[in-house]
Structure 1
Amino acid sequence: MQNIEPSFQWESLYVAARDKKSPFFGRHYSETTYENDIYGYYIHPLWDDIGSETLFCKILFTDYVAKYTIIELFGEWNDTLHNDVMHLKRTVVDHFVDSGIKHFILVGENVLNFHGSFEDDYYAEWFEDVEDGWIAAMHFAPFVEEEWAKYKIDYYLNFGGNLQIPNWRTLKPEMIFFMIDKLLKRRLNP
């Protein structure tokens, strides 16, 4: 677990610790001091703590003009025990919504599991916050997406199908946003 690092290919374009509107503005990172853990296993120190015991994130890119952000997630998304969506919503999403962001791209290839809850208040609130925007989830494991569908989270999050963009790490963030926006406009307005 400690060797799984967040993506860093866009650091020349954006760093959340230098973004005054970011919830992690001013944060200093150490690549040698491991502080956070999930179930007793230390995780890489570049992941940002959102107040959850099991879910961490990294804001990879934010564009306030185009109104989108790309957030990579790591760990176990556990709404049953830890209400992780609440932590993500209050710690990260609300800051960006207050700054005009209405398109959220969640990258989940390092989300190891999902435990749902039939309480969907925070998903509904997030969905309402981005009224004319969207929330897209890409590269989550099929079993995570199956659990989302079971708990009706697919009402709020767009995922699956053509949102699995191959080689996303080699693309510029604006290209990913453009591709997802185009796909979701067709999906949401057939």
Structure 2
Amino acid sequence: MHDIEPYYGWEKYYVASNDEYSPFYGREYIITHYTQEIYGYYIHPMWDNIGSETLYIKILYVHYGEGFAIIELLGEWNDTLYNDVMYLKRNVIDLMINKGINKFILIGENILNFHGSDECYYEEWFEDVEDGWVVAINFRDFVLDEMSHYNIDWYINWGGSLDIANWRTFLPVKLYQIIKQQITFRLGE
């Protein structure tokens, strides 16, 4: 787990610790000091703690003018034991929504498992973004199956043309434009 690093190819465009509106503003990273862990396994120090024991994130890019954010996730998304969606919603998403972000791209290729509970926070998130959306890309199929079992797909869009395996090859605004085009087509706007 300690070898899984968040994507850093867009740092010349955005760094959450330099963004005064970011929940991680002012955070200093010590690359050689591993202190965070998931189930006893150390994780790379560049991942940001949202208060959960099992879910960590990295805000890769935020564009306040367009109102979108790209967030990479790591770990086990465990709503059953730790209510991870609550930590994500209260400690990150709510702050971003208050600054005008209403479109979220969640990158989940490093989500290793999902344990669901109720859908209240997902429903609240869906209602809070009003004219926006939440999209999950590159989550593992078994994770999406479990999320569907808990009706998370009513609130978060995924699959098909939204899975962009080569997302790292795009600039963040281009990735957003591709996803926006796909989601606009899906929603029939």
TM-score range, shorter chain: over 0.9
Q: Aligned-residue CA RMSD in angstroms?
A: 0.7
CA distance in 2 between partners of 1:42 and 1:102 (Å): 32
For residue 186 of structure 2, give the secondary structure of its aligned residue in structure 1. helix
Equivalent residue runs for 1:45-64 within 5 Å: 45-64=45-64
Equivalent residue runs for 1:36-185 within 5 Å: 36-117=36-117, 119-185=118-184
What is the percent sequence identity of the aligned residues? 56
Q: How far apart are 1:148 and its partner, in Å?
A: 1.0
CA distance in 2 between partners of 1:149 and 1:38 (Å): 24
The answer (yes or no) to whether the contact 2:138–2:165 under 8 Å persists in 1 is no
TM-score by length of 1: 0.98
For residue 8 of structure 1, give the secondary structure of its aligned residue in structure 2. coil
Q: How far apart are 1:53 and its partner, in Å?
A: 0.4
Residue 4 of structure 2 is aligned to residue 4 of structure 1: yes
Q: How far apart are 1:166 and its partner, in Å?
A: 3.1
Question: Could you list the per-position Cα deviations for residues 128-164 of structure 1 after superposition, in whole angstroms to 9, with x for gaps in the alignment?
Answer: 1101000000000000111111110000000111111
For residue 111 of structure 1, give the secondary structure of its aligned residue in structure 2. strand
How many residues are paired up? 189
TM-score by length of 2: 0.99
CA distance in 2 between partners of 1:80 and 1:159 (Å): 22
- The unaligned stretches of length 5 or more in structure 1 are none
Which amino acid in the other structure matches residue 151 of structure 1?
Y
1:32 corresponds to: 32
Q: How far apart are 1:121 and its partner, in Å?
A: 1.1
